[in-house]
Amino acid sequence: MPGEAPQPEATSTTEQSIVAAIPGIKNVNSAISWDLVAKSGVEGTYALAAAKGIHPILPENIVNAVWRDPNGCLHRKFMSDLDGVWRKDAALSSCGPGYATSPGAVSWAHDRLDVFWFEYVYGRTLLSHAYWDGNVWHYEDIGPTETTPTGVPAVASWGVGHIDVMWRDVSGDVRWRSFERSKKGTPGYNVNGWTLNEKIVPNIDPKVPVNTQISIVSPKVNSIHIGWRALTKGFTHHWTDDTVTWHPDITSTWIGVSPSLVSWGFGHVAAFTTQDSSKTLIHLDWSLAARTWSARFAGSTTAIGAPVAAAALGRIGRIDLLGASTLVPDMTSYTLSHTLFQESLTGFQTLGNPQPKFWCWAASAGEVVNWVTGAQEKTCEFVGSVVHNSRCCEDPPSEECLTYGWAEDVLQTRGFDWSTTDALDPFALRLQLQVLNMPVIVKHDLPGTNIGHLVTLHDIYAVNGEIYVVISDPGFNGGNWVIKYADYLRYDDTFQVDEMIYNIHR
């Protein structure tokens, strides 16, 4: 279990966050908790796939866990983030000696799940495929591989109707076939939409080591990133933005197991693995500008002994992880567990300029304005527009700028309207955050004092039956937190939620 959120010290230029003092709150760059998916019967590796779905009123995001048991049977459990409860798919339980490898999986549309594995039949290796169309499972043999594969098929999709399947072959090359729904039966594609011939990913030197599993992800159209553990134990990365020109990238980061690559869109790529000879989870983040990796989070975890599978939903920053865990003392049962990881979502433009402790009103409202307009105005600029002073961004700011204020004043200067209420229920809050895609500003009061503080709520979801919210807090130059929504509203003795500003629009 990760530790509690750190308690920063208040200074003359940063504000002690009231939210950071709430018991049970978690830093967003950490796992919330591990919940049990399967107690036993999991063998080899496993796959995790996610997709944004459709609900009659609310958006519904589905997470799918797929694995093979010792009898060769494929199993699936799925979870909706509307309630965070895992359910078994009784329709998928295909058994037989032909299912020789663990599965890879991807989801490219609502109620669509594609699962791949290798079968060994009469001396040949077949790439096999099962897909769920929302009603029934369908099965097909894509065809024999041109060389002998090793490991499990790695799968990715950059959009509706497109799939890339890659694998390491016996020579250490990475081979590749693609599915394109719109090209069924056209030159170079078979009647089911698969490319007729395998391609080899170029410029992989040295080759992918023996007994090494690759992982792939597509953060945008025509972009594919591949990751694996090198013979030197270093994290190795190979990528393309046009499916033609490939770029090698060998890092100095030592990893203990093969990584799992994941993306929630917008060109974002992250990798999850463990440190060499330890039980510590590593989170690596890819910088598009610098084209380099950086370790953004490392902490203790219950996931050990096997690679961590990762998948991202349609919500910015949300990543689901699947791994073996110590929730059950007998690790021979190979318990499979799930957790949620929330990457930083901060939109506060506060760094690089003075940030007095009483500017949370401008920072919170300014974050919403920047979210809507796509601008990158700084907090001091929003303050200046309210107090009509052009020197608020100087260091030190003009005395006239060092003032308390109201978030509504900032919204008004930018032409926004809004509504207020004591507190939104989870259903109404989900409508604001996921249907209208609009953050909600929250005012806090510290009982018995004249101290107030403002934050924004950015997301809401259920995990293992509990509802969580993602909080962006301008205190101490911007921080992000995850907490159970019931706990957030309950701690009236420490502080109280005084008012929520919602339905913000022009």
pLDDT, tens only, 68-120: 877 778 888 888 878 878 888 887 766 755 557 889 999 887 778 999 999 88
* Same domain, residue pair 219 and 147: yes
Q: Which residue has the tokens 């993306």?
A: 263
CATH code for the domain in which residue 364 is found: 3.90.70.10
Range of the structural domain that residue 425 is part of: 19-25+348-505
* Same domain, residue pair 72 and 136: yes
pLDDT mean over 165-170: 96
DSSP conformation class of 32: -
Phi, psi (5° rounding) for residue 486? Answer: -65, -40
CA distance 99 to 133: 21
CA distance 474 to 367: 9
* Same domain, residue pair 234 and 320: yes
Global pTM?
0.76
CA distance 151 to 157: 20
CA distance 20 to 90: 43
CATH code for the domain in which residue 79 is found: 2.120.10.70
CA distance 166 to 207: 15
- Answer with the one of 342, 373, 393 that is the final residue of a domain: 342
CA distance 100 to 248: 31
11 found inside a domain: no
- Answer with the one of 324, 342, 360 that is the final residue of a domain: 342
* Same domain, residue pair 354 and 492: yes
236 found inside a domain: yes
Tokens of 20: 């950071």
* Same domain, residue pair 202 and 299: yes
CB-based contact 228:236 (threshold 8 Å): yes
pLDDT higher for 20 or 242?
Answer: 242
- Answer with the one of 323, 342, 361 that is the final residue of a domain: 342
199 found inside a domain: yes
Half-sphere exposure of 87 (CA within 13 A, CB side): 12
325 found inside a domain: yes
**The dihedral sign for the CA sequence 19, 22, 26, 32:** negative
Q: Which contiguous run of DSSP H or E holds residue 369?
A: helix 360-373
Q: Is residue 17 very low, low, confident or very high in pLDDT (cuts 50, 70, 90)?
A: very low
CA distance 104 to 165: 9
pLDDT, tens only, 289-347: 677 887 765 454 444 445 577 777 656 667 777 776 544 333 344 466 777 666 654 44
CA distance 73 to 69: 5
Count of the separate structural domains present in the chain: 2
